[in-house]
Amino acid sequence: SLSQRVTGEERRLGDGSIESTTQIETIDPANPSGGLRISEIVTEISKPLGNGKVSVERTIKTRDTNGNLTLSQKVAQSVESGK
C-alpha cells in the first residue's frame, strides 16, 4: 500500500498569476489503518510584475497536534525571471 502520495495542480488566475498547489498525503501514525490523509499543502502564487520580475508567494499548511491544517509558513519574495 502507498505510504505517501504527492499530487499537484497548476492553474492560471485572471491577473496572469499562476497558482500551483502541491498536496502531500501520508499515513497518520496515530491511525495507520485509516489510510492516507493530507499532511501538508504547499501553495505557490507567481505573479508577473513586469520588467522581468516575478513576485512569488509561498504558503505552507501543515497539521497541528489536533489534526487541523494550519498555516505554518508564508514566504513572499520578488525574483528576476531571467528572461
pLDDT in tens, 18-32: 999 999 999 988 888
H-assigned helices in the chain: none
Q: Contact at 8 Å (CB) between 68 and 74?
A: no
Cβ neighbours around 56 below 10 Å, total: 14
Q: How many residues does the chain have?
A: 83
**What is the pTM assigned to this prediction?**
0.81
How confident is the model over 44-83, as pLDDT tens digits?
A: 999 999 888 999 999 999 998 888 999 999 999 998 876 5
Q: Contact at 8 Å (CB) between 21 and 42?
A: yes
Residue written as grid cell 528572461: 83
